[in-house]
Amino acid sequence: MSVVQRENLIPFQSDAHKKLWFHDKNIALFQADCLNRETFEGELFDLIVTSPPYNVGIAYHSNNDELNYESYLAFSRQWLRNCYHWSLPEARLLLNVPLDKNKGGHHSVGADITTLAQQVGWRYHSTIVWNEGNISRRTAWGSWLSASAPHVIAPVELILVLYKDSWKKLRGSKISDISKDEFMTWTNGIWTFNGESKKRIGHPAPFPRELPRRCIKLFSYVDDLVLDPFCGSGTTLLEAQLNQRRAIGLELDEAYCKLAAQRLVEAIGLF
């Protein structure tokens, strides 16, 4: 598939596959299903920053977060493949996933999603470990003070760094807006900052602003086009806007679209 002129293609209109909830000059939020390949046509995006549902039984309104593991992997394969097709050859995918899953069976989620991503074409670059300071407190120890069946839990999440065809960026504005301190700190692959309060944002699994901010500033140029296919409360869009990137968000659920649109209106103004 040839690379299309994305400047002419930023879709700011609803169509059969997506309903527009918010747009300004640089940002668009759609209610849409990222499992549907027809949501976009052609290769559009420079950077994808996202966190999919973790399949840990979170009460999202519109998607089942308690699939059996095989179905969860099939779901992951489908959206990873779609994002691959919607990305430019130099695109990067910054993918926040759990390291593992310990409830209802032990699964190496991070490793399995890394493998799936590579099977659909993404190339592996590296992994950032997010040391989430305020992750919920331990309650299950397994066999307390006994070797019979202790539980080991790492209070971290992963941010997988993947890319499409070529790691080196030759296209785009070539303008980086990262400071020396930010570059030196963020290229160390252990990132330490707190998670965001669900209550404060009104979404069950919001990004802390710091996560998309770092991904956007470290891995994209000013004016690049960013996608968050699971945009929830719209945190990636907010950070894209604040950091002079263009961005499109997809979200399945109407209530979360309303919430994200409200956050964007507060930050940017009415459209």
Shortest Cβ 170–ligand SAM spacing (Å) = 29
Q: Which stretch binds ligand SAM (CB under 6 A): 22-30, 81-89, 123-131, 227-235?
A: 227-235
Q: What is the 3-state secondary structure (H, E, C) of 9-23?
A: CCCCCCECCEEEEEE
30 touching ligand SAM, by CB under 6 A: no
233 in contact with ligand SAM (CB under 6 A)? yes
Determine the residue with CB nearest ligand SAM. Answer: 232
Q: Which segments of the chain are extended strands (E)?
A: 18-23, 27-32, 45-50, 87-98, 123-131, 156-163, 190-192, 225-228, 246-251
Radius of gyration of the chain (CA): 18
Contact (Cβ atoms closer than 8 angstroms) between residue 257 and residue 31: yes
- In the complex, least distance from residue 267 CB atom to ligand SAM, rounded to whole angstroms: 13
Number of residues that bind ligand SAM (CB under 6 A): 22
DSSP H helix total and E strand total for the chain: 7, 9
Please tell me the distance from the alpha carbon of residue 48 to that of residue 51, in angstroms, as a whole number: 10
Cα separation, 101 vs 26, whole angstroms: 37
Residue 132: CB minimum distance to ligand SAM, A: 14
Residue 206 is a binding residue for ligand SAM (CB under 6 A): yes
Site string for ligand SAM, 38-77 (x = CB under 6 A): -------------x-x------x-xx--------------
Which of residues 169 and 248 has its CB atom nearest to ligand SAM in the complex?
Answer: 248
Residue 235 is a binding residue for ligand SAM (CB under 6 A): yes
207 contributes a contact to ligand SAM by CB under 6 A: yes
Shortest separation between residue 57's beta carbon and ligand SAM, angstroms: 13
Kindly list the residues in this chain that would bind ligand SAM in the complex (CB under 6 A): 33-35, 51, 53, 60, 62-63, 203, 205-207, 230-233, 235, 250-253, 256
